[in-house]
Each structure stands twice: as C-alpha cells, then as structure tokens.
Structure 1
Amino acid sequence: MKWADSGRKRMHDGANSLGNLMVEGFHYFGLFAIGAATAWASVMAFMGMVDKGQASIDDILLLFIYLELGAMVGIYFKTNHLPIRFLLYIAITALTRYLIGDVSHHRPPDAGLLYLCGGIFLLSLSVLAVRVASNKFPSSKVLDATGDVVGEGDK
C-alpha cells in the first residue's frame, strides 16, 4: 500500500501546484488590470484638465485618489499585503473632494456638511488606530516578494 500513499501524495502535490499557479496567475492578471485601469483613468482625467485649460481643486484631489490607488496596487504587487491605510487615505480624500465640491458650489451649509466632516474625522481616527495597532502588535510572519515566509519576527 506504499505505492497508493506515494501516488496520493504525488496527486495532492500536483493538484496543489496547479491550484497555486492558477490562483497566482489570476492574482497577477487582476493586479495588472487594476493598475492599467487606474493609469488609464488618471491619464484621461489629466487630459480633461488640459482640454479645459485649468484644473480645479476637485480635479487635483481626483489625481491624488488615482495616485493612492496606484501606490496601493504597487505595494500589493510587491508584498502580497493589502495596505488598509491606503484605502482609508483614499476614503478621506474622496470625502474631502466631495466636501470641497459641495462648499465651492455655494450650497447653504446643512447637516450634510457635519456628516461629511464627521466621516473624515472617523476615518482619521481609524488611520490612527491602524497605525497604533500595527506598531503595538506587529505581524509575526514576514513575507518576501515571492510571498514566502522569511522568518519569525524578522523585519
């Protein structure tokens, strides 16, 4: 029955390797697609500003959102870790962009203004909480660029 165990192990290892190849292939395809879409959208937004002959603060903040998305994709590509702080930064920038656009169109202040400011404040507190938690409770596993564990506690 040793031949059955060795056959089972070979089949398991082959299926595991094929599954890892398919998952990693989809992972890289998705990252390249998101990166390309972000680059295309930022170029189109910039070209729209050039066509208008001016850039508003809304336009500039939109470019910052694209920049953060691109940085997030780059970091995820290199480390296989999704930096949650970048998502929070994007959300803060998006709410700020909406707030500035709302105020610049001379709408009368209402409760919506307070909600937006409260949302920005809560997101800022979330960034602080994530920073404090990552410093106080660092990850025990460090991964290299290939996703392999480098060592326990090494940084």
Structure 2
Amino acid sequence: MNPQSDQSKAIAIGGRVLSLLEVLGLTLIAIATVIAGAQEVTEMWGRRQVTLADLLLLFIYLEVLAMVGVYLQSGSLPIRMPLYIAMVALARHLILDMKEITETEIIATSAAILILALAVLLIRFGQTRFPSSPAGHTEEQRD
C-alpha cells in the first residue's frame, strides 16, 4: 500500500464530504428563507397592509436567496452581498424602532450604514483598480 495514495484518497473523500455538506447547508438556508418569506407574505395578507418594513424584510430574504444562488453557481461569495444585506437590515431597524431608540442609537445606526456603504465603495474601487484575476476581469465580468 502506498501511504501517499491513501492520503490523497482521504483528502479527495474529505473534500467531497465537505462539498456535500456545503450544498446541504445552502439548501437548508434557501428553504428556511423561502418559508420565512412565505410567512411574512401571509402576515401581510392577513393584516391587509404592506409597510415599508415588510418590503425591506422581503428584500433581505430575496438578497439571501440571491447570495445562496451566487455561491452555488460560482463557488465563491462576493463580500458585497452580505454588506448590502446588513445595510438593509440596519435601515429596517431604524424604520421599525424609530420611536423607541434614542438619538444616540439613531446616529450610531446611521453611522454603521455609512461605514458599510463606504466599505462597499472601497471594495468596488479595489476590484476595479486592482483586479484579482489574471485577465483583469472584475467580479461582474466573470459572472
């Protein structure tokens, strides 16, 4: 028996198991997101009212599904997607809790949104100015 061959087989099997677990986890996230979205739509239907907070929550669900789709298709996740989700979640927090939070919390949440937006801008600038692929393609050009 060749120990190097056994090690290569073990690594290959381990990689396949991890890939399978990754797909399973992403599938569970997608199913849970669809269920949560359906529950939100059912609540809106029952109230017979759609608020901005409802729409932002549905947008968050949609972004999570898009993020799962991108990850399944490409095997990598653009870091901007979670940043967009975080910005929408913080904006939703501001909208929902505006009457209950203090001025300091409003300023802090707004500053957090601004920091995230600046991070997205910096990442986009870096991807455009210093592309990581050998051919000089940006993230959108590779998709």
- TM bucket, shorter chain: 0.7 to 0.9
When the two chains are superposed, the root-mean-square deviation of aligned CA atoms in Å is 1.8
Runs of 4+ with deviation above 4 angstroms? none
Distance 1:111 1:51, change over 3 A: same
Query: In the alignment, what sits opposite 2:45?
Result: 50
Give the distance between the partners of 2:52 and 2:36, measured in 1 at CA. 17
Q: Which amino acid aligns with 1:38?
A: T
Distance 1:121 1:136, change over 3 A: same
More strand by percentage:
1
TM-score normalised by structure 1 residue count: 0.81
TM-score normalised by structure 2 residue count: 0.87
SS in 1 for 2:77: coil
Give the distance between the partners of 2:83 and 2:101, measured in 1 at CA. 28
Partner residue of 2:119 out of 126, 133, 143: 126
Q: Which runs of 5+ in 1 are unaligned?
A: 141-151
Q: Percentage identity across aligned positions? A: 35
Q: Which runs of 5+ in 2 are unaligned?
A: none
Give the distance between the partners of 1:34 and 1:139, measured in 2 at CA. 29
Give the distance between the partners of 1:35 and 1:83, measured in 2 at CA. 17
Q: Which amino acid aligns with 1:12?
A: Q
Query: Aligned runs of 1:4-153 on 2, under 5 Å?
Result: 7-103=2-98, 105=99, 110-140=103-133, 152-153=134-135
